[in-house]
Structure 1
Amino acid sequence: MFRSRSWATGWTALRLAMAALVAAAIIAQFVSSVAGAVDNGRDVLTIVTNFFSFFTILSNTASVGVLAWAGIRFLARGRRTEPDPLPLAAALAWVSTYMVITGVVYNLLLRGLPLQPETVAWSNEVMHVWGPLFLLLDLFLGPCRRRLPWRAALGAAIFPIAWIVYTLLRANFITNPTTGQPYWYPYPFLNPYESSWGSVIGYIIGIAVTIIVAAVGAVALGRARGSAAPTDPRVSRPGARHE
């Protein structure tokens, strides 16, 4: 069923609808954040930069791009159900990993914290619950899955590592626009001033391990459900080894 053209067409419509919903959620929260900065006399440039420094915003923005890419490509190619090209297959596995981690971290570590006045409630739920759930389902139900090599799971770690380095290096150069503190961290569990560096490092290691495990799971599901591309020379040669 999952490889039929009708299923692929229906799921593609859901992908495009979810991309539109997540994009609307990002825009709504962005507008509210900027409006709150203007109303309270905060530095708008800092607010905008901080907005795009949240892992949630970056992972959701990436998911919009990749879901739109997958949907538009499928329709533009006449709804053909051949396996996704390698870059798209890897991007789908990676954004699924990031979105699932976003949902898990938020609901385990941040759900009970009070929301900021500028937080748009429905947008918050879309980005932390419905978007991650859809990307998780997409691993099981999405059409045109292609088998990825196991090393693709390691590629999923590049962006989170770069984000962690950027966050920790930038934090002490930014004045918190809300509290006036001489530092700004996007999430309390990364803030050593509220706990300790030992706690921060522990969270980073825990999240890194979770990302790798989730990425391996995403690749494993793709390998179980997908197939190699017809033009892949490894499957066109008799006796070729598969990764």
Structure 2
Amino acid sequence: MATKQQVGRSWFAGTALVVAIGIVVQVFATARSAGTGFYPDNPERVLNIFAYFTVQSNLLLGATTLLLAIRPERTSVLFRTLRLNGVLCMAVTGIVYHLVLAGLDDLSGAGAVANLILHTITPLLGLIGWLVFGPRGQTGDRVVAWSIVFPVLWLVFTLIRGSFTGFYPYPFVDVDEHGMATVLLNCLLVALLFLGLAAASTMLDRRLRR
């Protein structure tokens, strides 16, 4: 009979595979829809998908789960932070998408498949994998503090890039439409959601470890 660690490694490998499938399908769908959107031509249109928090979070989840599938015993602060980021950023992605952004989509075909994978399936796989297989005991105040760095860097990159290109990947960070004050308030609310989830995950991890 397979041990829990062996099942966990299989789950992590499966999660990484689903992430890879979602990204490939998204690239395919984006490339096929050239001629529309902010960047109508390739390769700019395809490359632009990597500016989305959803895609970056999926890549982070996929990379960390792949590393766990290869070798679960990883205890560095950097990996523990990236592992927490992968789970929480995907949780925030799923929550924000389904509460705020889902009604803005009108997708079909490969685009709809990629959207389902990247916004619904991978967040669930990441969360369930963390709850059931851990690894436990890898969160704490230091890791929580460092975990906010990735979302902040994404926001800074997005706002600076947007000021030059005029492109903002999500309506709630569109400075041209809402103004900087409103955008920063929106981002503060998301940051509070993220920190709340990070703190809750730390407390839950301690309970699960006991």
Instruction: Please indicate the TM-score interval, normalised by the length of the shorter structure.
Output: 0.7 to 0.9
Aligned: 1:57 with 2:48:
no
Aligned residue for 1:23?
A: 20
Tell me if the contact between 1:139 and 1:222 (Cα under 8 Å) persists in the aligned partners. no
RMSD: 2.5
Rounded to whole Å, the distance in 2 between the matches of 1:73 and 1:52 is 27
Rounded to whole Å, the distance in 2 between the matches of 1:42 and 1:144 is 43
Tell me if the contact between 1:59 and 1:95 (Cα under 8 Å) persists in the aligned partners. yes
Aligned residue for 1:43?
A: 41
Cα distance, 1:45–1:118 mapped onto 2, change above 3 Å: farther
Cα distance, 1:119–1:108 mapped onto 2, change above 3 Å: farther
**Higher radius of gyration, 1 or 2:** 1
State how 1:1-243 maps to structure 2 within 5 Å: 6-37=3-34, 42-74=40-72, 84-86=74-76, 87-115=78-106, 120-174=111-165, 183-226=166-209
Q: 2:15 is matched by which residue type in structure 1?
A: M
Aligned residue for 1:78?
A: none
Rounded to whole Å, the distance in 1 between the matches of 2:63 and 2:33 is 27
Offset of 1:148 from its aligned partner? 3.2
Rounded to whole Å, the distance in 2 between the matches of 1:39 and 1:194 is 20
Tell me if the contact between 1:85 and 1:146 (Cα under 8 Å) persists in the aligned partners. no
Runs of 4+ with deviation above 6 angstroms: 38-41
Offset of 1:65 from its aligned partner? 0.5
Offset of 1:209 from its aligned partner? 0.9
Offset of 1:39 from its aligned partner? 8.7
Cα distance, 1:226–1:115 mapped onto 2, change above 3 Å: same
Cα distance, 1:101–1:111 mapped onto 2, change above 3 Å: same
Identity %: 25
The DSSP-based 3-state class of the residue aligned with 1:148 is: coil
Tell me if the contact between 1:22 and 1:126 (Cα under 8 Å) persists in the aligned partners. yes
Tell me if the contact between 1:25 and 1:126 (Cα under 8 Å) persists in the aligned partners. yes
- Between Structure 1 and Structure 2, the one with more helix by share is 2
Give unmatched runs, 5+ long, in structure 2: none
- The superposition leaves residues 162-187 of structure 1 with CA deviations (integer Å, 9 ceiling, x where unpaired) of 1111111111322xxxxxxxx11100
Aligned length: 208
Rounded to whole Å, the distance in 1 between the matches of 2:36 and 2:184 is 36
Give the alignment's TM-score, normalised by structure 1: 0.77
